[in-house]
Amino acid sequence: MQDKEGNFGQELTDFFQRERSRLVAYVRKSFTDHKAHEAEDLIQDVFLRLWEADLDPIDNLAGYVFQALRNRLTDLFRRKNWDEASLDRPLNPDGSESASWLEILADLRQDQAGKLEAQEREEALFRAVDQLSDAQKSVFIATEIEGWTFEELSELWDEPLGTLLSRKHRALQSLRKKIQKLR
C-alpha cells in the first residue's frame, strides 16, 4: 500500500483536482436531478472514501474513480426507492435524453467482454511470439516493443539491414498464421 501522504495520496488529489469538471459533468449527465452542488458533494464523498480506503496501488486510476463514482450513483439511485423505475426507461425522470439501465448494463457487459477479448488476443500474441525462432523473436521484440529502428539494430548487432528486414517479415508472416489458426 502506498503511503497516503506519499505518491498515492498526491496522485489521487491531483486527479480529482484535474478532472473535477469532467466528474461533475458525468454526475450531472447521468442524473439530471442532481444539482451542481450535489454533484460536488457526491464527488467529494467518493474522493474521501478512496482516500480512507486501504487500497493496493491502482494501475488505471481514472477507470477506478469513474467506476467508484458510477457505483455511488447507483447506490443513490437505489435509495430513492423508485418503484416506477423501469430498466428500459431513461434514467432522467424529466424525460430528457439519457441512457437507460439496460443500456448502461449492456455497455458494462460489452466493456468487460471487450477487455477479456483484448486480454485473450494479447496472450495469444505473446504465445505466438514465444514460438518464433530466436532471431525472428529478437527483431520483432526490438522493433515492435522496444522501439528500435532497423538501422540502429543493424549497427548494434552488426547485421545487414536486409537480413533484419527479412527476419521481421518472416516473423510477421508466422505470427499471422498462428493467430489466424486461433480464430
Q: Are residues 41 and 80 both part of a single domain?
A: yes
pLDDT in the model for residue 79: 65
- What's the CATH code of the domain at 130? 1.10.10.10
Answer yes or no: are the C-beta atoms of 27 and 73 closer than 8 Å: yes
Q: Are residues 90 and 132 both part of a single domain?
A: no
pLDDT in the model for residue 100: 61
In a domain, 137, yes or no: yes
Domain ends where: 37, 65, 99? 99
pLDDT per residue of the chain (183 residues) written in tens, 0 to 9: 344 445 777 888 888 889 888 888 888 777 665 555 677 888 888 888 887 877 777 788 888 888 888 888 877 766 654 444 445 555 555 555 566 666 666 676 767 776 777 788 778 888 888 899 999 999 988 888 888 899 999 999 999 999 999 999 999 898 888 877 766
In a domain, 48, yes or no: yes
Domain ends where: 35, 69, 99? 99
Find the domain containing 47 and state its range.
7-99
Sign of CA dihedral 105, 111, 113, 116: negative
Question: pTM of the entire structure?
Answer: 0.39
Query: Angle formed by the axes of helices 61-79 and 7-30, to 10°?
Result: 50
Counting the structural domains of the chain, the total is: 2
In a domain, 112, yes or no: no
In a domain, 159, yes or no: yes
Q: Are residues 26 and 88 both part of a single domain?
A: yes
Domain ends where: 99, 131, 150? 99
Cα 92 to Cα 113: distance, rounded to the nearest angstrom: 27
In a domain, 107, yes or no: no
In a domain, 178, yes or no: yes
Q: Are residues 26 and 95 both part of a single domain?
A: yes
pLDDT in the model for residue 3: 46
Q: Are residues 121 and 95 both part of a single domain?
A: no
Q: Are residues 90 and 128 both part of a single domain?
A: no
Among the listed residues 181, 155, 173, the one whose alpha carbon sits nearest the alpha carbon of residue 142 = 155
φ/ψ (deg, to 5) at 95: 85, 0
In a domain, 1, yes or no: no
Q: Are residues 75 and 14 both part of a single domain?
A: yes
